[in-house]
Chain A
Amino acid sequence: EVQLVESGGGLVQPGGSLRLSCAASGFTFSSYEMNWVRQAPGKGLEWVSYISSSGSTIYYADSVKGRFTISRDNAKNSLYLQMNSLRAEDTAVYYCARDRGYFGPEYFDYWGQGTLVTVSS
Chain B
Amino acid sequence: DIQMTQSPSSLSASVGDRVTITCRASQGISNSLAWYQQKPGKAPKLLLYAASRLESGVPSRFSGSGSGTDYTLTISSLQPEDFATYYCQQYYSTPRITFGPGTKVDIK
Contact = CB atoms under 8 A, between A and B. Distances in A.
Interface of A: 44-47, 50, 59, 95, 100-101, 103-109, 111-114
Contacts, number: 53
Interface stretch (B16-24, B64-72, B74-82, B94-102): B94-102
Contacts of B62: none
Given A47-B97, A105-B94, 8 more contacts: A45-B87, A50-B95, A59-B95, A105-B97, A106-B91, A106-B94, A111-B44, A112-B43
Nearest to A107: B34
Contact of A114 (B36, B43, B100, B101): B43
B46 A109 contact: yes
Interface of B is mostly: loop
A105 B49 CA distance: 13
Interface of B: 32, 34, 36, 38, 42-46, 49, 55, 87, 89, 91, 94-95, 97-102
Nearest to B42: A113
12 contacts: A44-B100, A45-B87, A59-B95, A95-B43, A95-B44, A100-B49, A101-B91, A101-B94, A104-B95, A105-B91, A106-B32, A107-B34
Contacts of B98: 47
A114 B89 CA distance: 19
Contacts of B42: 113
Nearest to A46: B99
A95 B36 CA distance: 14
B90 to A, nearest CB: 9
